[in-house]
Amino acid sequence: MRAILVVNPRATSTTAGGRDVLAHALASQVKLEVVETDYPGHALAVARDAAREGIDLVVAHGGDGTVNEVVNGLLSDGPGDAPALGVVPGGSANVFARALGVSRDPVEATHQLLRAIEGGQSRSVGLGRADGRWFTFNAGLGWDADVVTTVADRRGKQTNALLYLRSAVACYFRPPLGREPLTVHVPGEEPVEVRTAFVSNTDPWSYLGPRPVHLNTGTSFDTGLGLFALTALSLPTVYRHVRQALRAEAKHRGRRLLRYDDLAELRVEAEQPVNFQVDGDPLGKRTRVEFTSVSHALTVLVAG
């Protein structure tokens, strides 16, 4: 088996020692090439070339941004005969890996990956597409995209749950682009005006440190997309849904809530450009985004 290990040396919990241990362990089972990323988009380019060269496995060692780039590279020419994906967490949230049951500990995650390679264990996962970009766990416009953009602008600070929480509070009280209304279009339903829209590909949607954040508990890698949107962002409304999202058995209810768990497609529009994010990476501003669900888009090596 030929494999490429893509390492983001700037990821939150990635170290040179951890990279060497991972590379040595993988090299015992596969013919391995190691690539450290140097610039945004590098992981995407490496994975795209790997897919076109017939590489069997690409392992992403970094955060969710690195995983997203690798996935987009693997699927540059569409689903089909793309290499399998392996993930060893190296970021702060590692949402995709955790949703797959991969350990947050890079050493244990490496052992899980080796067991999957040895036993030929894998699973097929569905993915989402938004504005031509693949996403593994979430995408959004409005408040959450404002938060992601704010955090990205603070590259000199350590990325962690506290920084996201502080940015969420700041963006709520001082929205960077105002609070532009969004219109959600779900096939077969009347358009609905909302103030923020989250689109999930799995549940949990994210994590606040060790605590999972649940928005669409009926959404998974085996279903369509989940939509969670609020028609108002008053403090009581936000408080109610934040409290519900942090419960172990989240059951969101409320007059201001628009929610679906299994959508094949949807569209979100805005009269003025609003921030847009995919898998925790800001992609600039948009006035229209088409979201689609693609089942069995990718094969991921995961130990049972």
pLDDT at 156: 47
**60 closest CA partner among 34, 27, 99, 29:** 34
Q: Hey, which bits of the chain come out as E strands?
A: 2-7, 31-36, 57-62, 84-89, 122-130, 133-135, 138-141, 182-185, 192-194, 196-200, 206-208, 211-213, 225-230, 257-263, 265-278, 281-301
Q: Which residues contact 255 (CB under 8 A, 6 or more apart)?
A: none
In whole angstroms, give the CA distance from residue 280 to residue 206. 10
pLDDT at 160: 63
Other C-beta atoms closer than 10 Å to the C-beta of 196 total: 24
In whole angstroms, give the CA distance from residue 117 to residue 109. 12
In whole angstroms, give the CA distance from residue 6 to residue 59. 6
Half-sphere exposure of 15 (CA within 13 A, CB side): 7
In whole angstroms, give the CA distance from residue 164 to residue 177. 18
CB 199 within 8 A of CB 128: yes
Phi first, then psi, for residue 91 (nearest 5°) are -105, -160
CB 11 within 8 A of CB 19: no
Tokens of 95: 């949402």
Structural domains in the chain, CATH included, are 2-120 (3.40.50.10330), 135-295 (2.60.200.40)
Return contacts of 162-165, CB within 8 angstroms, 24+ apart.
164/208, 165/208
Enter the DSSP assignment of 177: T
CB 14 within 8 A of CB 8: yes
* Per-residue tens of pLDDT for the chain, all 304 residues: 999 999 998 887 788 888 888 999 999 999 999 999 999 999 999 999 999 999 999 999 999 999 999 999 999 988 878 999 999 998 888 999 999 999 988 889 999 999 999 999 999 999 999 999 999 999 999 888 888 888 776 654 456 666 767 777 777 777 776 678 999 999 999 999 999 999 999 998 888 777 888 999 999 999 999 999 999 988 888 888 888 888 877 777 888 999 999 999 999 999 999 999 999 899 999 999 999 999 999 999 998 7
**135 closest CA partner among 26, 302, 292:** 292
